[in-house]
Amino acid sequence: MTADPRGEAAEISMTTDTANEPIRLVLTIEQAARRLSIGRTHMYSLVMSGEVESVTIGRLRRIPVECLTEYVNKLRAANHTDQAA
């Protein structure tokens, strides 16, 4: 595992099939917001409310990629339940 020289995100050396970008294990708030196509302020509120889990690495707040997937899965399950009722 290597660290970004700016300390923004940890990454592993594997690349994705669709692009030559490293696969990130954790994301900044801004990166996570871009992944979800939402605003930074909304992402902060999701993290602070506990809807999206985050971790601290030193003094930095990071969002594990799996936590974004879990959040989206929760939204899908809630929507599915609402539609079934």
pLDDT single digits (tens) 32-81? 999 999 999 999 999 999 999 999 999 999 999 999 999 999 999 998 87
Q: Would you say residue 8 has pLDDT above 90?
A: no
User: Domain range holding 40?
Assistant: 2-84
Pull the structure tokens for residue 45: 């509120």
Higher pLDDT, 77 or 22: 77
Q: What total of structural domains would you count in the chain?
A: 1
pLDDT of residue 59: 97
CA distance 74 to 71: 5
CA distance 39 to 34: 7
Pull the structure tokens for residue 39: 């605003």
Confidence label for 19 from pLDDT (cuts 50, 70 and 90): low
pLDDT of residue 12: 47
Q: pTM (2 decimals)?
A: 0.69
